[in-house]
């Protein structure tokens, strides 16, 4: 067969628009490849797909790889869950410890809000009852500083307090509107063990201007360790110290996962006696808790114990220094409410 170019094909009467035929060698190659897949007698192996054995092996390898991936993901999720459980336990205990450390540091602080004398008075050897702008944080037997200036100020001991008046013996005359302040600290700001209303191994009692706002409050922490099957609690009550208020406020639960058993000790105290007072110079705090959910791998509730062995009541320590220096006029008596609580 002769192959002509388009021009020669037109000259010999062919179709000039027909595409040029493929070269003979390429045409034979294409036919040979196509025929190899159509001729069942000579090309079955060249054109067949995967065998059943090959498919099974491939699927087995895929399953092994997928299983390894899913196992790694599951292990990572369980590890994250365990870390989250421990982190939650630590954060809960740390939050309680920070609150406790702040209040222990403030315990024993004496303060009054801005308070002034309501009316002028003259010196008298007899007790006088006078109006004041506020009686917040005042109590019987408290020592307050009336007036200002070297010649006018005097330290008086309150013999009575109501919602709007205070009663005391005034040795100097004072004008209306003069300031009333308070000095010193409560040496028993951390209520010492073996005293009236004293703290114990699982009860911490403290008071003072804990919020630095001129308001006296009494705080009680109660630790009740339980078991893994029946966890105990750590509670806190806050009571504002007011004349005639002798009932503690309701407890609020800080932790409900406290463990350690009935013999566990949460609080340890270091005490020092001076000037007739017992000063708590250091508070130790140990707490064991368990997680709120079981470990995803073991099914057991994880537990953790944290100890804070040096919570220092700085105001009480300042009172101890005053006592050792013989400056007892700056050591305020304990409010009567505290002895009832």
Domain layout of the chain by residue ranges:
89-106+185-339, 115-182
Q: Are 49 and 252 in contact (CB under 8 A)?
A: no
Tens place of pLDDT for every residue, the chain, 341 residues?
444 444 444 444 455 555 555 555 555 555 455 455 555 454 555 556 678 877 888 888 888 888 778 777 777 776 766 677 777 778 888 889 999 999 999 999 999 899 999 999 999 999 999 999 999 899 999 999 999 987 889 999 999 999 899 999 999 999 999 999 998 999 999 999 988 889 999 999 999 999 988 899 999 999 999 998 999 999 999 999 988 788 899 999 999 999 998 889 999 999 999 999 999 999 999 999 998 888 777 788 888 899 988 899 999 999 999 999 999 989 999 998 888 88
CA torsion 226-227-230-231 (nearest 10°) is: 50
Structure token pair of residue 202: 């699982």
**Which of 73, 145, 99, 101 lies closest to 254 in space, CA to CA?**
99
Rounded distance, CA 37 to CA 332, Å?
Answer: 108
pLDDT tens for residues 256-284?
999 998 889 999 999 999 999 999 999 99
> What is the residue-wise DSSP string for 12-28?
TT--TTSPPPPPHHHHH
Q: Which residues of 123-145 are buried (b: 16+ CB within 10 A; e: fewer)?
A: eeeeeeebebebbbbbbeebbbb
**Which of 124, 119, 100 lies closest to 199 in space, CA to CA?**
100
3-state secondary structure of 58: helix
Rounded distance, CA 97 to CA 255, Å?
Answer: 11
Q: Is 312 left (phi over 0), alpha (psi -120 to 50) or beta?
A: beta
CA 171: distance to chain centroid?
51
Angle, helix 314-324 to helix 52-106, in steps of 10 degrees: 30
Q: Is 260 left (phi over 0), alpha (psi -120 to 50) or beta?
A: left
Rounded distance, CA 308 to CA 313, Å?
Answer: 13
In the chain, where does DSSP find H-type helix?
Answer: 6-11, 24-38, 44-47, 52-106, 314-324, 336-340
Backbone CA torsion sign across 256, 257, 259, 265: negative
Tally of helices (H runs) and strands (E runs) in the chain: 6, 14
pLDDT tens for residues 304-338?
899 988 899 999 999 999 999 999 989 999 998 88
Q: Are 331 and 184 in contact (CB under 8 A)?
A: yes
Rounded distance, CA 164 to CA 116, Å?
Answer: 11
Q: How far is CA 243 from CA 64, 84, 180, 196, 257, in A?
A: 77, 47, 18, 19, 36
Residue 159, φ and ψ in degrees, nearest 5: -100, -10
Residue 338 burial (CB < 10 Å; 0-12/13-18/19+)?
Answer: buried
pLDDT tens for residues 47-81?
566 788 778 888 888 888 887 787 777 777 767 66
């Amino acid at each position: 067969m002769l192959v002509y170019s388009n021009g020669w094909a037109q000259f010999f009467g062919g179709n000039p628009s027909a595409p040029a035929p493929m070269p003979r060698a390429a045409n034979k190659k294409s036919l040979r490849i196509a025929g190899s897949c159509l001729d069942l007698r000579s090309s079955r192996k060249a054109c067949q797909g995967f065998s059943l054995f090959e498919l099974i092996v491939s699927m087995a390898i895929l399953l092994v790889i997928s299983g390894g991936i899913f196992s790694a993901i599951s292990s990572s999720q369980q590890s994250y869950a365990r870390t989250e459980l421990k982190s939650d336990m630590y954060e809960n205990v740390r939050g309680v410890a920070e609150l406790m450390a702040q209040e222990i540091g403030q315990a024993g602080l004496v303060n009054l809000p801005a308070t002034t004398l309501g009316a002028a008075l003259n010196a008298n050897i007899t007790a006088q009852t006078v109006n004041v702008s506020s009686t917040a944080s005042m109590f019987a037997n408290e020592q307050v500083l009336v007036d200002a200036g070297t010649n006018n100020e005097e330290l008086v001991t309150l013999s009575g307090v109501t919602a709007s008046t205070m009663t005391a013996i005034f040795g100097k005359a004072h004008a209306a509107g003069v300031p009333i302040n308070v000095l010193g600290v409560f040496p028993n700001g951390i209520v010492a063990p073996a005293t009236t209303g004293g703290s114990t191994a699982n009860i911490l009692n403290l008071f003072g201007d804990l919020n630095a706002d001129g308001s006296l409050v009494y705080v009680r922490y109660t630790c009740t360790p339980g078991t893994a099957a029946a966890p105990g609690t750590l509670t806190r009550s806050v009571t504002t110290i007011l004349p005639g208020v002798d009932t503690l406020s309701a407890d609020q639960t800080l932790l409900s996962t406290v463990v350690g058993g009935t013999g566990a000790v949460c609080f340890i105290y270091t005490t020092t006696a001076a000037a007739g007072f017992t000063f708590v110079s250091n508070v130790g705090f140990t707490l064991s808790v368990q997680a709120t959910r079981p470990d995803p791998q073991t099914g057991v509730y994880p537990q953790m114990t944290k100890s804070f062995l040096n919570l220092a009541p700085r105001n009480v320590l300042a009172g101890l220094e005053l006592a050792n220096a013989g400056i007892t006029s700056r050591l305020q008596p304990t409010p009567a409410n505290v002895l009832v609580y």
